[in-house]
A and B are shown apart, each in its own frame.
Chain A
Amino acid sequence: METIQKKAEEGVSDELKLVQAAKGGDLEAFSELVRRYDRNIFRIAQHITHNEEDAQDVVQDAFLKAYQNLEQFQGNSKFYTWLVRIAVNEALMRLRKRRNDRTVSLDEDVETDEGSMPREVADWSPNPEQIYGTSELGDILKKTIQGLPPGFRTVFVLRDIEGLSTEETAEMLGLSVPAVKSRLLRARLQLRERLARYFKSKKDGDGTR
């Protein structure tokens, strides 16, 4: 445990050094920061925009913006938290453009609790991942998460896929902690409901109860 914590602390101080060097114009240091987080930023951008071209643009623009505004990064939060916040804003902007819809925002998803009440309550087959091949499973997972409102899926991606804390997610998205928690619960329940249609066990899962 001690070693893990020590490593994490070293990672943070090493990262601050890279950020300081990049602020001073050291491009190699910034390049290292890009390498550290480009995969995460790409994933987050894909999840929000659903469009690979947009996601590529988001990755480029988010890192460029971060570089140009490094002076504004005070080091109060982690560099990654600050970077994701920039990327989420860029991704939402692209989503709005593509949908030609100014109303897309993280606050758009006001809905009743009924959307989250479980209807599929049959257990799943023991290994749903083995029923489908990798690419078929990937398609199901994509289709399912894409059906969630942007505010829900963004919270789910940051909390459950990227493994960030509720507090970090709230900070990144400019939401309150209770708002993040409520979205996460609804996102999890809605995903579960939709996946159940594919994964429910055949023997007791004919949908009647």
Chain B
Amino acid sequence: MKCTEFLKELSDYLDGKITESLKAELDEHLHWCHECHVVLNTTQKTIEIYRDNQIYELPDPLRNRLHEAIMSKCRHSKPHKKNT
């Protein structure tokens, strides 16, 4: 297996969405290819770092303001009726 072939399967490998036989082939490649091993690990870390460090949190005061604005607009708006 070439590195480019490994890379094509990288996402499915990380998501655990591959067949046993393909996984065995990929693991075999990983066994001797240090670079793909690093790419796999650091891609995994990339996903984790974004998942663990939410960069756009909604602060409570803003959240409350938005909520009030939304509900006030809804109060003054009638739901669209379907084909009536």
Binding site for B on A (CB under 8 A): 23, 25, 27, 30-31, 34-35, 38-39, 42-43, 46-47, 55-56, 59-60, 63-64, 67-72, 116-118, 121-124, 128-129, 134, 137-138, 141-142, 145, 156, 160-161, 163, 181, 184-185, 188-189, 191-192, 195-196, 199
Kindly list chain B residues whose C-beta atoms are within 8 Å of the C-beta of A181: 11-12
C-alpha spacing A191/B39, complex, angstroms: 12
User: Which residue in chain A gives the minimum CB-CB distance to B9?
Assistant: A185
Decide if A192 touches B43 in the complex (CB within 8 Å). yes
Kindly list chain B residues whose C-beta atoms are within 8 Å of the C-beta of A30: 71, 74
Known interface pairs A71-B79, A118-B7; 6 further A-B residue pairs with C-beta atoms within 8 A, sorted by A's residue number: A25-B79, A55-B56, A67-B74, A71-B81, A141-B55, A185-B7
25 A-B contacts, Cβ less than 8 Å apart?
A27-B71, A27-B74, A34-B67, A34-B71, A35-B67, A38-B58, A42-B66, A60-B66, A60-B73, A67-B77, A68-B80, A71-B81, A71-B82, A161-B51, A181-B11, A184-B11, A185-B8, A188-B11, A189-B39, A191-B46, A192-B39, A195-B42, A195-B46, A196-B42, A199-B45
Binding site for A on B (CB under 8 A): 4, 7-8, 10-12, 14, 35, 38-39, 41-43, 45-47, 49-58, 62-63, 66-67, 69-71, 73-75, 77-82
Decide if A160 touches B51 in the complex (CB within 8 Å). yes
Min distance, Cβ B68 to any Cβ of chain A, angstroms: 10
Main secondary structure of the interface of A (DSSP, over half): helix
User: Which residue in chain B gives the minimum CB-CB distance to A41?
Assistant: B58
Kindly list chain A residues whose C-beta atoms are within 8 Å of the C-beta of B41: 123-124
Main secondary structure of the interface of B (DSSP, over half): helix
C-alpha spacing A124/B51, complex, angstroms: 18
Decide if B35 touches A118 in the complex (CB within 8 Å). yes
User: Which residue in chain A gives the minimum CB-CB distance to B17?
Assistant: A166
Min distance, Cβ B59 to any Cβ of chain A, angstroms: 10
Kindly list chain B residues whose C-beta atoms are within 8 Å of the C-beta of A59: 66, 70
Kindly list chain A residues whose C-beta atoms are within 8 Å of the C-beta of B50: 141, 145, 156, 160-161, 191
